[in-house]
Structure 1
Amino acid sequence: MSIKQLRAFLAVAQSLSFAQASQHLHLSQPALSLAIKTLEESLGGALLVRTTRSVALTREGEVLLPIARRLIADWDNTEELLRQHFTLKLGRVAIAALPSFAASLLPVALKAFRDCHPDINVTVHDVVNEQVVEMVRNHRVELGVVLEPESLEGLDFTPLYLDRFIAVVPAASRLASYEELQWSDLLSEPFIALQRPSAVRTLLENSVSAHHGRLPVAFESHQLVTIGRMVSQGLGVSVVPSLCLQQMEALGARCVALNQPRVEQRVGLIHLAGTTISAAAKALSEKLIEVTDKR
């Protein structure tokens, strides 16, 4: 039983005229008669009684009529709903992003996206790197923005930009007057780090261990905002992604370029490998790429 056959039956059943039904459906009468005949054969019996002068419904045809109306209405509503999703006139998309990106470039991309697609609902999860990966893997969000994971198993990664990490020091510190710092300058001070497990924490430890040994961690926090506040109060120094620069300085800390070793990591978009993302997620991905290209 196809939608074409149901439309043919409904047109004839409502008009009780093959001629009117043919005109309504823009079908020839032989094609219409064949559709009805095929439907009756598939169901196992007559739905219409035809004479040279009239058309009437059988008892089975009367049973099918309200069902056909409902099925066709559901079909048409589904078609329209999906058309609105594909044309981005309706829909939703969920994205998770690491805090440094969520507080800086993501709002810019969302503004550009909203200007083009005002009827798409966007849910943003501002979580640490590891949770972003977990939420994508568990289908809780379609898109994630992360530091490039060590393992991409089951994920597709699209690079957005290369982030260079910077030193964060108290504004009143002697280190704040420098244009550039080395790790040896920082490691003589109490260090404030993200708590484990943290991709940023692991990256920093791996980057400095060969030349300087372990980080002298004095304080730990789950949130970069808390780290910025602690640094601004003179509790120690830290190293954060360069995207956090404005956020850190707004909290009262001072940001300085960092070398020896320079710490860099790619930031990019992830989604589940082997899946086709929604039209809304694809459009948002394009805006994220566009915004980061201008960075």
Structure 2
Amino acid sequence: MDIRELKYFTQVAKEKNFTVAARNLHISQPALSKTIKNLEHELDIQLFDRSDKEIKLTEMGEFFFIQADGILQAFDSLKGALYDKSKLNKGEIIVGLPPVIGTSIFVNVLTSFREKYPDITLHIVENGAKMVEHNLQKGLIDIGVVISPVNEQQFEYIPIMKDESVLIVHENHWLSELESVTFDDLREEEFLLLDKTFMLHHHIINRCVESGYKPNIAFESSQWDFLVELVAQNQGISILPRPILERVDTPHIRTIPFNFPPLHWDVGFLLNRDQYVTHVMKTFIDHSIKLVRQSTS
């Protein structure tokens, strides 16, 4: 018994048809039938019930299929790992990155990574955290970058950095006199928020609801710098990650932290559970974590 025979067997088991399975395997139907017969003879068991028009697995065939399918998956994973190891720092990676995180902490990461690993092609797909999760689940990206919390039953989360989101108001706003604020202080305010594709949007809504009210959202945008400009025009208040605001040189705004509990802004990588992490992916993850932690320490 060898890997080729297991592949032939599982293909027939999945298709329940020798002709279709043979076409998928690019071999003749008689050759496929002979291989399966030889496998049954070697194992001294009947794998298929051929008494009806549609072939079926026998009880022993069902058991053998589960084991064989697992072996083939492990074999493919081993081949992928060996191929990946042989290529070392060559290949490509697709990263889902929310614009807010990209602007605040990943500009230097992406630039230095391209310089250090010129043979790795890096593709960036910019979306809010909710869309990053969707694209990762669908296999459209290799790695996502999001803010926690995340569904850790579905995804693996690797922390990168910890920070907080803060309130920004116009310098003439009554809240600008406070050293810190609570969400209860914002009950009567007009909110200018990142849209629903951003995890921060949902965190803010949840904190307002926990404080006993539904926020009055005057405007939503996917552009954080546009929200800052609106606040500078005294059109409402906004809540944004502190690292972003360190890059802002807009006059007439005041930044105010939240009182206990703070509004955490914890950034991390997101992977599908049981996903094979290639050498290229691991290289990008390690490089990013090292650089971000150096820049924030």
Q: Flag whether TM exceeds 0.5 (same fold).
A: yes
TM-score (norm 1): 0.64
* CA deviation profile, 1:114-137 (whole Å, cap 9, x unmatched): 232122221112211101111111
Distance 2:208 2:261 in 1: 7
* Deviation of the 1:250 alpha carbon: 4.7
Q: Cα distance 1:175–1:85, how it changes in 2: closer, same or farther (>3 A)?
A: farther
* Deviation of the 1:96 alpha carbon: 1.1
SS class of match (2:246): helix
1:237 matched residue in structure 2: 237
Larger radius of gyration: 1
- What aligned pairs does 1:44-193 form with structure 2 within 5 A after superposition? 86-88=87-89, 90-176=90-176, 178-193=178-193
* Deviation of the 1:150 alpha carbon: 4.0
Q: Cα distance 1:171–1:121, how it changes in 2: closer, same or farther (>3 A)?
A: farther
1:267 matched residue in structure 2: 267
TM-score (norm 2): 0.64
* Deviation of the 1:248 alpha carbon: 4.5
Matched AA of 2:290: E
Distance 1:83 1:262 in 2: 42
Name the count of aligned residue pairs.
Answer: 216
Q: What's the C-alpha RMSD, in Å, of the aligned pairs?
A: 2.9
Q: Cα distance 1:128–1:115, how it changes in 2: closer, same or farther (>3 A)?
A: same
Matched AA of 2:242: S
Distance 1:85 1:242 in 2: 42
Matched AA of 1:154: Q
Residues 183 and 260 in structure 1, CA contact (< 8 A), matched pair in contact too: no
Distance 1:228 1:203 in 2: 19
Report percent identity of matched pairs: 20
Residues 97 and 144 in structure 1, CA contact (< 8 A), matched pair in contact too: yes
Q: Cα distance 1:86–1:255, how it changes in 2: closer, same or farther (>3 A)?
A: farther
Structure 1: 5+ residue runs without aligned partners?
Answer: 1-81
Q: Cα distance 1:165–1:139, how it changes in 2: closer, same or farther (>3 A)?
A: same
Q: Cα distance 1:86–1:250, how it changes in 2: closer, same or farther (>3 A)?
A: farther
* Deviation of the 1:184 alpha carbon: 4.0
SS class of match (2:196): coil
